Amino acid sequence: MTNRLLTLLADRPAIFDGGYGWLLQERGLPAGECAESWNVDNPDAVARLHDEYAAAGAVIITTNTFGATEPRLAAHGLSGRAEEVNRAGAAIAREVADRHAVLVAGDIGPTGELLEPLGTLTAQQATALFAEQVRGLAAGGADLILIETMSDLGEASAAVAAAREVAPDLPVVVTMSFDTNLRTMMGVSPAAAVAALAAAGADAVGANCGRGPDEMRTIAEQLVAARPEGLLLVAQSNAGLPALEGDKFVYTVGPEAMGEHAVELRDLGIDVIGACCGSSPEHIGEMAAALAGR
């Protein structure tokens, strides 16, 4: 069976974009304010960032909807607006993507709630929350669904189930954050994630966020070793860890080093490469250039 994401890419370089939340704060989003609210309140700022990533070389741009599930939105006074916020986020990205002939990944992050037995949220409830997001993302024009920064396989699987139920034709990418001794906070290893999420129906599985390129290299090796036939692998590392400089936190890995990291990931066998927290359009530009064999 042909991988749906591979078909969608159609021989284009598989380069994701980078961080959003921290960059929006750099551009005026007040600390503590919901980044996703800008999809409806300040769409031009979101569109400019998408545009910069696409111009830098990203072939897949990510909607500003990471925290746009009902529980997270409700905490910011946006209860009942999940589908609206997701649809708006996808529509902003869609307009930019069409200008640059790139793809839109509809972004889904954790709900912020714990699933049973550690919490009270059931798998069925989680799937319903994610389904609301997927409906909005699909209506706004997403080309694929990106489920990212997951720690719990149960929650990740619930999101995959929602995507397959609501938008069965869209490819599904799932990345987990292996930031606790090369496992997720819930103890999931890269190999276990690959096996479970491939079985759940994901087209691509991998890692995002984390502690930086050095650890991502080790994680990538484990992902590649566990890959079943037909599955694409993804890696989107943070630009290192933030260090306090003066009165602000600055990420420690610059664009040129992330470019070298991108080539290293490709040589290890990773198919889809991007970046995460602390990365900017400048980082993605260096990564795209390095992967193109500058």
In this predicted model, what pLDDT tens digit does every residue of 160-210 receive, in sequence order?
Answer: 999 999 999 999 999 999 999 999 999 999 999 999 999 999 999 999 999
CATH number of the domain where residue 110 is located: 3.20.20.330
Q: 34 labelled as ligand-binding?
A: no
Taking the C-alpha atoms of residue 87 and residue 170, their distance in angstroms, rounded to an integer, is 15
Instruction: Compute φ and ψ for 24, nearest 5 degrees.
Output: -65, -35
Residue 242 binned pLDDT confidence (cut-offs 50, 70, 90): confident
> Which domain does 36 fall in, by range?
4-291
Residue 158 has pLDDT above 80, yes or no: yes
Confidence at 78, pLDDT banded by 50, 70, 90: very high
Domain count of the chain? Answer: 1
What pLDDT does residue 59 have?
Answer: 98
Query: Rounded mean pLDDT of the chain?
Result: 95
Question: Which tens digit of pLDDT belongs to each residue from 116-142?
Answer: 999 999 999 999 999 999 999 999 999
274-290 pLDDT, tens digit each: 999 999 999 999 999 99
| pTM listed for this prediction | 0.96
- Residues 47, 83: Cα–Cα separation, whole Å: 19
The residue type found at 117 is P
The proportion of the chain whose per-residue pLDDT surpasses 70, expressed as a percent, equals 99
DSSP code, position 30: P
Q: Look at residue 294 in the predicted model and tell me its pLDDT.
A: 59
pLDDT digits (tens, 9 = 90+) for 253-269: 999 999 999 999 999 99
| Cα–Cα dist 28/20, whole Å | 12
Q: Is the pLDDT of residue 1 over 80?
A: no
Residue 195: Cβ-neighbour burial (10 angstroms; 0-12, 13-18, 19+): middle
For range 83-96, the mean pLDDT? 98
Is residue 221 within 8 Å of 214, Cβ to Cβ? Answer: no
Is 247 a residue whose pLDDT tops 70? yes
pLDDT tens-place string over residues 214-229: 999 999 999 999 999 9
- 277 labelled binding-site residue: yes
Render pLDDT for 42-61 as a digit per residue (tens, 0 to 9). 999 999 999 999 999 999 99
Does the structure show a pLDDT above 80 at 6? yes
Residue 283 is inside which H or E element, if any? Answer: helix 281-291
Q: How many angstroms separate the first and last alpha carbons of the chain?
A: 34
Per-residue burial over 159-191, b = 16 or more CB atoms within 10 Å of its CB, e = otherwise: bbbbbbebbeebbbbbbbbbbeeebbebebbbe
Is residue 171 within 8 A of residue 145, CB to CB? The reply is yes
Tokens representing residue 50 in the block:
């998408």
Give the list of residues 6+ apart from residue 287 with CB closer than 8 angstroms, or none.
15, 57, 255, 258, 259, 261, 262, 273, 274, 275
